[in-house]
Copies of this chain bind each other. A is one copy, B any other.
């Protein structure tokens, strides 16, 4: 049997807490039988759900706490008053070596603030990024930053490139992921200065990626690169806009297929194809956005997802732990920063330790 991989779960996070987290863990365990779990939260609320999953119960330990971070708590409040909450203990389990990854469906801002405090950022990284998987016509791609930071300097964008590449390596098994830099092509001087500088940097530096240059917004979904790098303001807007457009088209399609008796019959005949379409666009399938740049694997699940979606988020953490993402990423970042001459020694030392 493969080496056990233990993941800590914020059992109280998300809209439904243990009612989603526990069956989600059970689904993830079916897929990856070497998983083990720390279920962090209110024992009395976790146990009834766990009773329905004896296999999961046998590979889980409850870490009891009665305090939780609210969905509306501000990051600053979370940091001041968050000690001892399910989210905090879930992150602390990584720092203490009791878990290799943490998954929470709680408040994003609070999770990021606490993760920075508990786990600290990797050497040379000031602020972590949030990454996510994006469905494309080819396969899936990774897009980052999805909104952790507003604005990004050229070096930060280069860091994102390496972080995204590490994730593509872990999730898709691609050794030299194709990386593109999101830009716009309307004006003569294409893109912002930081983006152009990052382009020069990525083009001119020896990196363990296959740098493909600029991509535009309509190319994200084409799958021509494995990793799309963008600063967080535009990245978040791109993500939300794509989600909105997909929902809009789904609504139009529903209308089209219920517009007449013939259309309804047509929809029945086409149902298996339409089901495949729905599966491809199912956001639960790609749920789970890692915070990259921390000394630990932290995955943010959507707060409103169900057990299937939460299992996907656990799967992302599992794949990243299995692939040894952190060790490799620390070495890659150290090499980049060494080349750029900023904090490289510090990083290389860290990489050796890792």
Question: What is A's interface to B at a CB cutoff of 8 Å?
Answer: 74-76, 108-109, 112-113, 130, 135-137, 146-148, 150-151, 182, 184, 186-188, 191-192, 216-222, 230, 232-234, 236-253, 255-260, 262-263, 265-274, 276-277, 280-281
Contact = CB atoms under 8 A, between A and B. Distances in A.
A327 to B, nearest CB: 28
Contacts of A256: 270, 273-274, 276-277
B266 A239 contact: no
A248 B74 contact: no
A221 B192 contact: no
Contacts of A135: 248
User: Per DSSP, are chain A's interface residues mostly helix, strand or loop, or mixed?
Assistant: helix
Instruction: Give 6 nearest A-B pairs by CB, closest first.
Output: A217-B240, A266-B269, A266-B270, A218-B244, A256-B273, A147-B186
Nearest to A276: B256
A291 B267 CA distance: 43
Nearest to A110: B188
Given A217-B236, A240-B218, A277-B255, A74 B188 contact: yes
A251 B137 contact: yes
A136 B150 CA distance: 27
A220 B246 CA distance: 12
A251 B280 CA distance: 12
Nearest to A147: B186
A151 B263 contact: no
A163 to B, nearest CB: 17
A76 B187 CA distance: 11
A238 B217 contact: yes
A112 B189 CA distance: 13
